[in-house]
Chains A and B, each alone.
Chain A
């Protein structure tokens, strides 16, 4: 057994976030009103620090705390991604909160704790710890969704999210209980060995089924997606951006760890179900997104569709598919964060609005927004040379290698449908005239930095995709 110091180093990124969160709470309490903006800076420093520590932990630690925490390279990749997502959310938040006169309060500390909980979810090597991470993340998200209590839509979103979240948690927990009853353990590794040895009982199948339903709720897969468009539309936009990428990625990584590793021996049983869910998810997401006039709802349905593509990777299984799924998660995080930031800046007419018509002629009126939005839309549609294109390419080719031709054909057809509504925004921006005077867009360093960083990374990964893919292949658990 390692020394305690070595074990603590294994969870240092998490500890850093928690310490920053508690420090930020105290600072908010003790400082004067005009000094409170420091809280944002400190949170940003916390995210960057934790990300840097995660980089240094590459290849250094394995399982710590009696096998509870897998501080491996796979975890490190997602710790870095989550710190990046957290930092971007901090960058786009202050101006938004100031404009809407939302009191800062515990916003940043709760955001830090959410990211901390996401890290716990991906580093957990035990269903018990995973569940606690998931619950901590969910409770923090319910609060963040309810940020603006004067806005009835935000309150409604939070309440819906809370009730459906609690409902789905019950499924997940029931599944965990049944699997524990059969295998006698909650540890991923012990479940894996127990399932290989034990004869297959109907209770295991029921446990896996309930677990799958719970996960499907959390990643908003059809038919368990009903909450997500309303919640995405109602929640404050920085939080929507955060929710659509961070918690979704955390749930997917946990799904990878649980299903493609622990429950691998039962793959024959769950692959069929995930196959059907994947097809339904991408088809429904894309078809409904076509009809949306509200960009937040459109991106919500697009986010459902992307969950469907990601499930293709889970169906395929195997190292290449897992690496491709991880690649897609990274690419999706970058382009979606960017797209939501543009949506936030383009909306100048109150929180309930976000109409697509606002984009008419916007490409020339706001050059930076136009160009970056075009990059994000190309990437979401999967057009080269963007990260989104290679994400889809790797994902679908991994599925073809495993013989899931039909699934890939459906996914490619779906991408073609999706291209219509993504490219429509570019058409609106550059090929139509504005009907009204263009509203001024707030100039704030955080927004510009976010747009530049995310779009450059989307293009960079799109031009040199092999580097990231090899990194992910080397990081596989």
Chain B
């Protein structure tokens, strides 16, 4: 890789990293929940781009398809169908903001220090697309976690339906 293209990659990385962090900050700090939802869109896209930098091609595409294409759309639909959400503001009378802020900053500082202090080992760069390797390991080494993930989704599904059921069904 020549100097120019590696510089270009560096700039791209910084752009995507900034996109992720700034939009994540919007998600957390925006007083309007609908702004947070749209901020999440850019966070998810930025994370997908970071996966590309890590040569995790399958993960990047999945991130876009599932998180941006599925989950985020569901969140925004859910918000739009909830009454009075467009102008509702939350977090207004939270009185523990300062303590939480201090703790959060301290924790972030510690983790940042750890990241800087650690001599990270670099994984070898995969020279083939990762999809096949992931597919094979999901059905061999990671068969049980794979099945367990489906149980997790099953209970989440049943639970969500049960909780969201109308009051009429509840009083039966």
Contacts and interface: CB of A to CB of B under 8 A. Distances in A.
Interface stretch (B15-23, B40-48, B75-83, B140-148): B140-148
Contacts of A105: 162, 165
Interface stretch (A109-117, A268-276, A338-346): A109-117
A128 B142 contact: yes
Interface string A139-169: 1101100100110000000000000000000
A202 B163 CA distance: 43
Nearest to A135: B152
B154 interface: yes
Specify the main secondary structure of chain B where it touches its partner: helix
B114 A206 contact: yes
A444 interface: no
Nearest to A107: B162
B152 A143 contact: no
A146 B163 contact: yes
B148 A120 contact: yes
A136 interface: yes
A450 B156 CA distance: 30
A202 B145 contact: no
B135 interface: no
Interface string B146-172: 001101101110110011010101111
B120 A181 contact: yes
Contact of A132 (B120, B121, B145): B145
B111 A143 contact: no
Interface stretch (A65-73, A354-362, A364-372, A416-424): A65-73
A206 B120 CA distance: 14
Contacts of A143: 155, 158-159, 162-163
Nearest to B141: A66
B155 A140 contact: yes
Contacts of B120: 181
Contacts of A230: none
Nearest to B137: A66
A145 to B, nearest CB: 11
24 contacts: A25-B158, A68-B145, A101-B171, A103-B169, A105-B165, A110-B162, A120-B148, A129-B148, A132-B145, A133-B148, A136-B148, A139-B152, A139-B156, A143-B155, A143-B159, A146-B163, A149-B170, A150-B167, A184-B121, A201-B117, A202-B114, A202-B118, A203-B117, A203-B118
Interface of B: 110-111, 114-115, 117-121, 140-145, 148-149, 151-152, 154-156, 158-159, 162-163, 165, 167, 169-172
Given A110-B162, A132-B145, A202-B117, 20 more contacts: A68-B141, A68-B144, A68-B145, A103-B169, A103-B171, A105-B162, A116-B151, A117-B155, A128-B145, A129-B145, A132-B148, A136-B151, A139-B152, A139-B156, A143-B155, A143-B163, A149-B170, A174-B111, A181-B120, A201-B119
